[in-house]
Amino acid sequence: MIIKDRVKELVNQAVADTGFGTVDFQVEKPKSDFGDYAVNAVFGLAKKLKKTPGEVARQLAEKISQSLPEEIEQVEAVGGYINFFLSRQYLQSALSDIASQKNYGRSEELKGQTVMVEYTDPNPFKLFHIGHLMSNAIGEAIARLYEAQGAKVIRANYQGDIGLHVAKAIWGTQGQLPGESVGLAEKVKFLGAAYARGAAAYENQPETKSAIEEINEKIFNRSDPEVNRLYQIGRRWSLEYFEIIYAKLGTKFDRYFFESETASDGLTIVRQHPDVFRESAGAIIFPGEQYGLHNRVFINARGLPTYETKELGLNKKKFELYPELAQSLIITGNEINEYFRVLLKTMALTIPEAAAKTRHIGHGMLRLPGGKLSSRTGEVVTAEELIEQVVGKLREIVSPKSGLSEWERETTYEPLAISAIKYSILKQSPGHDIIFDFDKSLSIRGDSGPYLQYTYARLNSILTKAGEAAPSSNFAPDQLKEESELKLIKQLFELPNVISESCQKIAPQHLVLYLFELANLANNFYEKIHIIGDENTERLTARLVLVKTTAQMLKSGLTLLGIGALEKI
């Protein structure tokens, strides 16, 4: 049982035994001076009972103290709070339990549930930019957290392979494509430049706008052989290139959806609901203003479905293909939050079963400090450009005297760079913008991915140096008595609760903070405690078990965030 649940049981029982009725309360993690857990149950009770919070807290603390379980050493009332202190013996024995579990921290809380997480969503014919990188990092972490709670997760990726952006890119090619002998990266850059040309012409040249709209219609109807040829080749190049980036980021999708396969379903939904949609200036719109939202076009004046209609078809298809879905989560940038409010309303009016199980999670923007990063392709900074520039910075700051060979350094730079970027993204609440800062993101002494990687590698180094004294499954946990040791065990003990909370709240930042605090406690432990060479073999073995278990939990936590742990750094 998670210890927080045990504390809740004790408080609820005490409330019942004292005849106070029932009360809603939270179990919190206070500063260490105020116990290992604190409960705020008394404030609501005090008002109801017309007593002071201090009086109620003392009564409940006294009742709980009459029969303390082995986990709890002491309960005390401070002000309006009830503070709980874990016993040293319980913590020592808990380490044995933690060390023996291969998947400690994971649970089957959501076993039997199927959850779809849709994220990344890059569009063919456009560049994979840093916004997609942010969506990928957040979506992958959320998917892994759900899996850690026992859910079956379907990773989905929805890509716009038809639409005006494709028509702009095909117009921008001027009918010419690079030869097959050109590298894939160069082909994709060509498509990105073609799209930029087409987008600029569409905005500034009325005659070109009409031509691009005609191309868009031809793409949708598959009516022009030459347009079809350019479309098929460009689409293939984009999708092949995206797969390279997914592999680099550690993501493998289970289901790809494309606008070209969802448009017809969306058109059917719109046409079947004249009570929801109406005609306006030759187009079909959703009158969102009637619902406190904004109006949006679902079928344009040419009779073609817009992005909104295709997305209606997508969400219908999701639940047709996977009727067992308990939840469908969609991760996108928060610049389209208002769009999703409209979409979810239209879903509620047309496909209510799907709407009830669908949730949109908007994330902030990944911004770059002025002058520090620039794109070779114009205004859009690609994911690969950011990774390359972080790798370049690492080459400047990682010393040849680090103990790694040149080959080891070169093979470490890219995963370390991705670690730094992902950590910077995930340590913030998903809704907040992030400014990527080189110095902070690459520091091995601060709140960063490399700091956690360094801590993990240092723990592994201790185990390597231990050699024949390596930890055994048989050890004496009562040898661990120092404050730094017990604090580290307490932190390890919290992992199941943190994973559960991070999943329930869809908040990977809670796990990030936990791992940062775990790394801090680990560093404090091995800086204060002499481990290697300890002549007390029982104590040495126990401390090495603590080192090994801490390393395993760091690796497990990083893995849940979609970050690979590096054995050496």
pLDDT in tens, 68-92: 998 999 999 988 889 999 999 999 9
Choices 1.10.730.10, 3.50.50.60, 3.40.630.30, 3.90.550.10: CATH for 387-560: 1.10.730.10
Q: What is the amino acid identity at position 113?
A: Q
Q: What is the pLDDT of residue 377?
A: 46
What is the C-alpha separation between 51 and 53, in angstroms, rounded? 6
What is the C-alpha separation between 523 and 484, in angstroms, rounded? 10
Q: What is the pLDDT of residue 1?
A: 53
pLDDT at 371 over 80: no
Contacts of 379 (CB under 8 A, 6+ apart): none
Q: Would you mind telling me the total number of residues written for the chain in this entry?
A: 569
| pTM of structure | 0.92
Q: What is the pLDDT of residue 471?
A: 72
CA-to-CA separations, 217 to 125, 223, 224, 300, 455, in angstroms, rounded: 17, 8, 10, 11, 56
Share of the chain above pLDDT 70, in %: 96
Task: Please state the rounded mean pLDDT for residues 232-252.
Answer: 97
Q: What is the pLDDT of residue 26?
A: 84
Task: Please state the rounded mean pLDDT for residues 425-442.
Answer: 92
Domain positions in the chain are 3-86, 387-560
**Fold of the domain spanning 3-86:** Gyrase A; domain 2 (3.30.1360)
What is the C-alpha separation between 431 and 41, in angstroms, rounded? 30
pLDDT at 33 over 80: no
Q: What is the pLDDT of residue 468?
A: 64
Q: What is the pLDDT of residue 380?
A: 79
pLDDT at 374 over 80: no
Q: Which of 139-148, 273-282, 366-375 has the lowest mean pLDDT?
A: 366-375
Q: What is the pLDDT of residue 53?
A: 87
Q: Name residue, tokens 């980021």.
A: 249
pLDDT at 373 over 50: no
Q: What is the pLDDT of residue 375?
A: 43
pLDDT at 29 over 90: no
pLDDT at 232 over 90: yes
Single out the residue of 246, 219, 132, 234 nearest to residue 184, CA to CA. 234
Highest mean pLDDT among 33-37, 61-65, 377-381: 61-65
Share of the chain above pLDDT 90, in %: 78
Task: Please state the rounded mean pLDDT for residues 506-517.
Answer: 97
pLDDT at 12 over 50: yes
Contacts of 516 (CB under 8 A, 6+ apart): 427, 447, 451, 452
What is the C-alpha separation between 340 and 329, in angstroms, rounded? 12
pLDDT at 488 over 90: yes
Instruction: Answer for the pair 311, 340: CB distance below 8 angstroms, yes or no.
Output: no
What is the C-alpha separation between 166 and 162, in angstroms, rounded? 6
Task: Please give the radius of gyration of the chain, using alpha carbons only, rounded to the nearest integer.
Answer: 28
pLDDT at 509 over 70: yes
Q: Name residue, tokens 């009570």.
A: 275
CA-to-CA separations, 436 to 132, 224, 429, in angstroms, rounded: 15, 45, 15
Q: What is the DSSP string of 414-431?
A: HHHHHHHHHHHHHTS-TT
pLDDT at 350 over 80: yes
pLDDT band at 400 (very low <50, low <70, confident <90, very high): low
Q: Name residue, tokens 């050493």.
A: 73
Q: What is the amino acid identity at position 216?
A: N
In SS3 terms, 96-118 reads as HHHHHCCCCCCCCCCCCCEEEEE
What is the C-alpha separation between 5 and 27, in angstroms, rounded? 9
What is the C-alpha separation between 411 and 506, in angstroms, rounded? 33
pLDDT by residue (tens digit) across 133-162?
Answer: 999 999 999 999 999 999 999 999 999 999
